[in-house]
Structure formats: structure tokens, C-alpha cells
Amino acid sequence: MSEQKALPTRMVLQAFKAKAVSAKKGYELLKKKSDALTVRYRKLLKEILEMKREVTEMMKNASISLSEAKWAAGDITRKVIDNVSSASEILEVHIDNVAGVRLPVFKSKHRDVADEPTLGRGGQQLEKCRKIWSEFLQVLIRLSSLQTSFISLDEAIKVTNRRVNALDNVVIPGIIANIHYIESELDELEREDIFRLKKVLQVKNRKEEEEKLGAGGEETFEECEEDTENHDNILMDYVIEEDDDDVVV
């Protein structure tokens, strides 16, 4: 598909220059946004890696504590289910805004629940197990929050980088190419106008000289040359006025 050329007029030229300024400003803003998102992206990646190592260690401790509780108190699954009346942890979702990108943040709100005293068989192991798994749950919520923000941030960076590349490689070069094309066409039209005016003045001067010679040669050759110089001065004044009009925006 061939590229469509813009109409070579001064109004179109001014419009393309305004587009070029806007496109460059947009490119700079998107570039800054991409840099800010990349900094946050790397920070999240570092936190996720550290959190995963912590989760691995805590998972081992939680599994061991659960095994100890089952060994000391027997099968506690049914008893725990029967005694749970409400959740002790409530998940809250907040939104963090990073360079215009909305990232979900999960936070756990602990709620005290009246528990029955565990002073019977394996009570100490059950209390220890509950405490370890409660801490483990907090870490899992934090990790899920980081991973969700990481995925959202990764997608936002890809979209922003595509826009930056489109402006840098397609939009801005296309606008600049159109500006150069219009300027070259306007220069060519100006040269054609000057050449056309010179031709018109030459024909007019020739006709005036022929009329004067036919009328009896009342004017001398020097006077004819003076008239020719006057016409040339008129032409130069016209060209200067045209240039002054071009400067006016």
C-alpha cells in the first residue's frame, strides 16, 4: 500500500508541525512512564524471589507442626471444622497507583476469635500449629499480592513499550517526512511562481518596446533599459512581500 502524500499547503504544514510537537511530548511522557514502571517491576521481582524462599522454609515448618499436632492429639480435622464459627483473617483489597497503572494490593485483617481452651491432649502442639499456620497465611497473602501486581505491571510495561516504539519508529518519522515533503513542494511552487513572473514581465517589456518602436522610436534605448530595470525592481519587491507573508504565522 503506497503512502498517501499530504496536501502541500502552508496550513497543512503548520498542522503537521503542531502534530510533531505533540508526538514528541507524548513520546517523552510515555518513556518516563515506562522507566517508572520498570523500576517498580524490578523491585517487585526482587521481593517475590525473597518471599518465595521464605515461603519454602515456612512451609516445611508448618508441615512439621501439623504432623506433631496430629501425633499428639490424633485426627483433629473434624474437631477443627466443627469448632470454627467465623474466619479469623479477613482479606482486604486496595489499589496502588503507579504511573497511572492500577495495581491490586491484598492485605489481611486479623480478627480475634474466641477459642476454646486447648489444655487437653496435645493442647500445646495444637496452639503452636495454629500460630505457625497463621503466620504462614500472612506470608501467602503477601506473596499473592506481589505476584498479582507483578503480572499487571508486566502487561502495562508491554503496552507502554509498544506505544513508545510506535511513536519513535512510525508516527514521528512519518510526520517529519510529511513536513519535509510539504516544504520541498512549497519551495518548488515558489520557484515556479518567480520564473512565471519573470516570463510575464519579459513578454510585457518586449511588447512595450515593440509598441514604442512602432510609434516612431520616441524613446531612446537607455530609457527602455530603465523601464526594464523598473520592472525587475517591481518583481523583487513582490518576491520580498511573498517571503514576508510566509513568515507570518
Confidence tier at 38 by pLDDT (50, 70, 90): very high
Q: Is residue 147 classed as helix, strand or coil in its secondary structure?
A: helix
pLDDT in tens, 175-192: 999 999 999 988 888 888
Class of domain 10-177: mainly alpha
Grid coordinates representing 161?
513499550
Question: Does residue 114 register a pLDDT over 60?
Answer: no
Confidence tier at 244 by pLDDT (50, 70, 90): very low
pLDDT in tens, 125-178: 777 888 888 888 889 999 999 999 999 999 999 999 999 999 999 999 999 999
Q: What one-character DSSP code corresponds to residue 112?
A: -
Which residue shows C-alpha cell 520592472? 231
Cα(57)–Cα(15) distance, integer angstroms: 63
The confidence score (pLDDT) of residue 93 equals: 87
The confidence score (pLDDT) of residue 29 equals: 94
Grid coordinates representing 153?
505491571
pLDDT in tens, 44-84: 999 999 999 999 888 888 888 888 877 877 677 666 666 66
Confidence tier at 234 by pLDDT (50, 70, 90): low
The confidence score (pLDDT) of residue 163 equals: 94
Q: What value does the mean pLDDT take over residues 22-51?
A: 93
